[in-house]
Structure 1
Amino acid sequence: MIDFTRIKAFYVFRGPTDLRKGIDGYCSLVSGVMTLDPFSPSLFLFCNRSKDKLKVLYWDGNGFWLLYKRLEEGKFRWPKDNGDTSLSLSNQQLKWLMEGLDINQKRAFQPLENRVI
């Protein structure tokens, strides 16, 4: 089983990806194009051109996991390709992405500073 508490980082490959690749193909993208270590305790996310399917690559210390998700309705709000090949996400941004929301949500409340009662 995947121990999700061991995952330290989440990375999105910004451009569309051919999801016919296997583990070796995604490892090659992570190390060659994203210049990251596929053996790190990280999730690497890849999305197809129509943004309704994604694959996740994860090294658990003993082998690679390749997870696949296909949406029956809707699309992922995948970050646009702005020239950078990868984008690091926070836990909250990953949750928003998986829920179909934009990863750049505005804050509900502004933090207050130096309040005195």
Structure 2
Amino acid sequence: MLNINEIDTVYLASGVTDLRKSIDGLMVIIKMELKLDPYEKALFVFCNRQMNKLKVLHFDNV
């Protein structure tokens, strides 16, 4: 279960993301395009072309 108290930041990826990408594909976007650490205490939010679906990536440091 997501503990919102452990989240420091929420990043919204601007533009369109192909939501067929796996976790690894989204991590590449976070590292290369956003130049961020995917393991930080943050939520990374991606949106599809129709803007009716979201995919959220968060790593739990347990």
TM-aligned CA deviation for residue 2 of structure 1: 1.5
Cross-structure match for 1:22: 22
CA distance in 2, matches of 1:57, 1:48: 14
Which of structure 1's runs of 4+ aligned residues deviate more than 4 A? none
Pairs within 5 Å for 1:30-45: 30-45=30-45
Which sections of structure 1, spanning at least 5 residues, go unmatched?
A: 63-117
- Could you tell me how far apart the structure 2 residues matched to 1:30 and 1:37 are? 7
Measured in 2, the distance between the counterparts of 1:10 and 1:43 equals 5
Structure number, greater radius of gyration = 1
Which has the larger share of strand? 1
Match of 2:14, SS? strand
Aligned length: 62
How far apart, CA to CA, are the structure 2 residues paired with 1:61 and 1:29? 20
The 5 A counterparts of 1:33-72 are: 33-62=33-62
State percent identity of aligned pairs. 44
Query: Which one has more relative contact order, counting CA pairs under 8 Å at least 6 apart?
Result: 2
Partners of 1:25 and 1:41 in 2: how far apart?
A: 19
What root-mean-square deviation, in Å, do the aligned CA atoms of Structure 1 and Structure 2 show? 0.8
Q: Given residue 53 of structure 1, which amino acid in structure 2 is its aligned partner?
A: K
Unaligned stretches of 5+ residues in structure 2 = none
Task: Output the CA distance in 2 between the equivalents of 1:52 and 1:3.
Answer: 25
